[in-house]
Amino acid sequence: MVSLLYTAIISDLHLTDPEPPRHQTKSRHPLWKKFKTKEFYIDESLVQFLDFIQKEAKGNPVELILNGDIFDFDSVMSLPDKPLYKVNWLEKRRGLFPRQEKSLFKIKVILEEHKPFMDALRKFILNGHKVVLIPGNHDVELHFPEVQDYIRKVLDLPEEHKKNFVFTSWFYISNKDTLIEHGNQQDPYCICENPLNPFLLDYNELSVRLPFGNVACRYMMNGLGLFNPHVEKNYIMSVPEYIRFFFKYLLTAQPLIMWTWLWCSTATLWHVTVDRFATTFKGHTSQESLVNTAAVNSQATPSMVRQLQELFVVPATNNPILIAKELWLDRLFLISFGFIIIYIIVFQLKHFLGISLFWIFLPLALFIPFFLFYARSVTSLVSEYKQPSEALLSRQAEIAQVKRVVYGHTHIPRHEFYGFVEHLNSGTWSPAFTNVECTETFERNHYVWITPSTTNQGAGPESGEKSRKAELRQFNTKKHQS
């Protein structure tokens, strides 16, 4: 007799440490990272959600999939009081680097801040349910064994329940009918290049190779406190929109934002470039063992692991010009190069013909329309990867032998069919406010709920295993309280 399995999938919680109250810091603006204050913690909603899905399953076991970006290591700005390791000036301003001992400190901070959720998660597992944790791009540091061990230590599960808390490499196959992954492996800006072994040797210390998008988030977004990283429209704007935003907010809060952008962009480009030449960590575990372990944890076969890995996109860091365009450094290089060339030409003419240096403004005036035309022609490709590829979904479904694929990552809830493949996206629970004042937001708290199909129950073991119904739902805290 086949056990009827209920599956709940949530993603993009972005649990992190809080932003200190403004009166306790030297910040110049009361709205600085307001979205990151304790006022918008979601632990209470998560606790209620765990209770709710247990009631929905009516006593049956529930499989809870935490599908990536559950913990946001990139946004942690807390620093240790008396560290045994060195913390440099950049880390003090933009957060600790992704090295093993520093990532361990960050997960300790996060779990302490969100103790109600962790307590509820422990209770959930003790009630006979299962939790699967899939790393995303913002919690790629979950791959550190010490970080995983600390989470297990906090949960403090009895021996008989430990098997019901599982870490995976990047995907999970639920009940042989649903492939679940965060989705960043199909995003060149956010891909973890090798989730089976993402480690680097950095000055004899173990570190993780961060995706470009996460390096940019650390160096830039952590220093641009009026831009909300959880909503794309908050930081990807047109030039007129940036100008309006500057005069409305930044003129009083961060008037030197151009300097902040310049050095943060340069630091981002430098970091991802240096990482390309870093030494990959080679442990004692063979590639075959890594594949086999990933297959067991993901309820897949080794062949599935290898084939799904072949579908990864090419990292954006392989294309420095693309990175420079996304950071707007190409426009800086172009205008600087143009100014230098024009200055050299006018200076030489002054030397030989005795003309005034003020003639430099004529070629500059002619250059500006060309520059503006180029600047308007360059568009960010970040949004391009918000739309799933039908060909990719079909190939993933074929490899995993499923007809349903669930993503997170984009923060956009979806439920649609691409050919024979059912696709869902669980959206986000993060503080995705669309304005600086944090009064307007996207719809949040979505989840995917998969239940046994009532029409095919009792139709045989194979039917019972694969005939399930998936829904995209939204959890309303006030509604479920009443």
pLDDT of residue 3: 52
Task: Return the pLDDT at 67.
Answer: 97
**Domains, the chain, ordered by start:** 6-237+285-322+381-481 (3.60.21.10), 329-377 (no CATH)
For residue 382, what pLDDT is reported? 67
CA–CA separation, 110 and 135 (whole Å):
15
Per-residue pLDDT tens over the stretch 75-88: 999 999 888 889 99
Q: What integer pLDDT is reported at residue 372 of this predicted model? A: 66
Q: Which amino acid is at 205?
A: E
> What's the CA gap between 246 and 255, in Å, rounded?
8
- Six token digits for residue 32: 């600085």
> CA–CA distance from 56 to each of 39, 61, 154 (Å)?
29, 11, 27
Query: 205-208 and 199-202 as β-strands: parallel, antiparallel, unpaired?
Result: antiparallel
Residues 11-22: pLDDT tens digits?
Answer: 999 999 998 764
Mean pLDDT of 116-135: 96
The count of residues in the chain is 482
Which of 156, 6, 141, 133 has its CA nearest to residue 70? 133
Say how far apart CA 148 and CA 168 lie, in whole Å: 11
Average pLDDT taken over every residue of the chain = 87
Considering only residues 314 and 342, tell me which one the structure prediction assigns the higher pLDDT: 314
pLDDT of residue 435: 87
What is the structure's pLDDT at 253?
84
pLDDT tier, 273 (very low <50, low <70, confident <90, very high otherwise): confident
More confident residue, 462 or 83: 83
SS3 268: helix
* pLDDT recorded at residue 375: 64
Pairing of strands 62-67, 6-10: parallel
Nearest to 380 by CA among 330, 312, 335: 330
Res. 460 pLDDT band, cuts 50 70 90: very low
pLDDT tier at 196 (50, 70, 90 boundaries)? very high
pLDDT digit string (tens) for 201-232?
Answer: 877 788 999 999 999 999 988 988 888 888 87
